[in-house]
Amino acid sequence: MERVHQEFGDQGLVVLAINLGEDRRMLASWVKSQNVTSMVLHLESAALGRSYGITATPTVFLVDRSGRLVGKAIGTRPWSGDKGRELLRALIAR
């Protein structure tokens, strides 16, 4: 997702990672070690994540410019691959 953020961030795509339940300090250390520049939100409780429909990780929500949920993917996806990039370009163009 970091590659996607780097490629599409200046076109209006926002990547927000939500981490469930890990120690906040460990998460901050990982973000720093991986040079993550996209936003990372930490939820201390997996139950809070479930209230947003997050039942597994990773879960990706696709939200258009109007704030409408236009897609949801559970599990790893090749977002930086050709099909993933095509989908993201179409979403940005809306």
pLDDT tens track for 64-78: 888 888 888 888 889
Q: In this predicted structure, what is the pLDDT of residue 57?
A: 82
61-66's contacts with Cβ under 8 Å and 24+ in sequence apart are 62/87, 62/91, 64/91, 64/94, 65/12, 65/94
Which parts of the chain sit beneath pLDDT 50? none
- The pTM (predicted TM-score) of the whole model is 0.76
Question: What are the b/e assignments for 49-83, b being 16+ CB within 10 Å?
Answer: beeeebeebebbeeeeeeeeeeeeeeeeeebeeee
Q: In this predicted structure, what is the pLDDT of residue 67?
A: 87
Q: In this predicted structure, what is the pLDDT of residue 16?
A: 87
Question: Prior bond to 78 cis, omega within 30?
Answer: no
Per-residue DSSP letter, 58: S
Structure tokens at 26: 């460990």
Q: Which domains does the chain have, with CATH numbers?
A: 2-93 (3.40.30.10)
